[in-house]
Amino acid sequence: MLGGLMTRGTGAAGGRRDPGSSGKRGFARHTVHFVYASPRHPKDTDQVTRRQQARRPTESALDHIASRGKMAPMASTPPRTTRSALHLSATLLTASVALYIALVAFGNITDFGTNQAFVQHVLAMDTTFKDDDLMWRAITSKGLQNTAYVAIIVWETLAALVLIYGTYLWVRGDDPRARRFSTYGLLMLMVLFGAGFIAIGGEWFSMWQSDTWNGLDAALRVFVLSGVVLLVVNLPDRSAS
């Protein structure tokens, strides 16, 4: 179509007399411009639509991104069996150590004299090599020996009670508190048998020299057992993170 059209009018009907003319007959020329907005070609419209669609993601693409964002946390979540196995292991191991130390404390209370003799001989160092350079460490006072023995029994009883309470918390499913109290009880045992029997009894009072009153092997077993259970109890809970 034409972008513009110029028309020329002639005659009386097509124009007006020029008032500035001097009697001469003339006509004024008028130019009329018509502007037409030509419609776009269908191919041009399709190309513009394609470009607009290419610039923004489609709804299916947005749905795919949203679904990926929702599914991402689930991929890092461990299965419930992992937590259940760890929880069951911590419960049973804590209960086993609690039962052991409770029986030890109960035996020392009900059969007071058996292990009392053990503590007395270890402190007195009367079954060691009796080296003059070491015998000054010996404690021969009966009162101090019995005080040490009672302190050991009290410590064992407290550790047993703490571990029993920790086992109760494991059974209830209160994992944070169960882990804390189990750690306290296991550390109490490691201090008693590690620092008390192995370090002080074995080295300071030379218990390793005695063939009769030597409790290093038993103390080492309890120390290692408590350490292993302590590691299991404090394993990180991946499901919580």
Do the beta carbons of residue 152 and residue 192 sit within 8 Å? yes
Confidence category of residue 51, pLDDT binned at 50, 70, 90: low
pLDDT digits (tens, 9 = 90+) for 178-219: 999 999 999 999 999 999 999 999 999 999 999 999 999 999
| Phi, psi for residue 26 in degrees, rounded to 5 | -155, 170
105 Cβ contact list (under 8 Å, min separation 6):
153, 156, 157, 160
What does DSSP assign to residue 79?
Answer: P
What are the boundaries of each domain within the chain? Answer: 11-75, 81-233
pLDDT digits (tens, 9 = 90+) for 12-47: 444 444 444 444 454 445 555 544 455 555 555 566
The pTM is what?
0.66
- Residue 207 or 4, more confident: 207
3-state secondary structure of 213: coil
Across 44-51, average pLDDT? 60
What does DSSP assign to residue 128?
Answer: S
Do the beta carbons of residue 65 and residue 123 sit within 8 Å? no
What is the DSSP secondary-structure string of 10-77?
A: -HHHH----TTSSS--------------PPPPHHHHHHHHHHHHHHS--HHHHHHHHHHHHHHHHHTS
Q: What percent of the chain has pLDDT over 90?
A: 61
